[in-house]
Amino acid sequence: MAVLLRFRDLKRYGIKNHPTLKRWIEQADFPPGFYLGSNTRAWREDDCEVWLANRPKWEARPPEIEEPAPSVAAEESGPVVEEDRQLSNTRLESNSQACSTEKAA
């Protein structure tokens, strides 16, 4: 008798959410499973094990947690220039002028 897996059981294969499942079915040939009812999907455990055994050995981690490639633009942009982040007195002066005109009136 075949063992059936539900969505929560797919975590051991690296599938943690529905978008990952959809992407792996479309792009990584993960078994699509079948519907037991109108909103109940299941997968045969042996189909999932065959899929896992046939994955390339160099794919140690699922695609959604791969590290991004280093940015080439950051290396070619030249030296980093630090910004001068001093507060401007313009806003403070205009507020004090407004307060002094109100007091004079």
Residue bearing tokens 């007091």: 103
Both tokens assigned to 51: 């899929």
H or E element at residue 26: helix 18-27
Predicted structure pTM score: 0.51
| pLDDT tens-digit map of 9-65 | 998 888 889 999 999 999 989 999 999 999 899 999 999 999 888 887 655 555 555
How many C-alpha atoms does 61 have within 13 Å on its Cβ side? 5
Cα gap 91→88, rounded to integer Å: 7
Both tokens assigned to 102: 């109100």
> Residue 82 pLDDT > 70, yes or no?
no
Beta-bridge mates of residue 44: 4
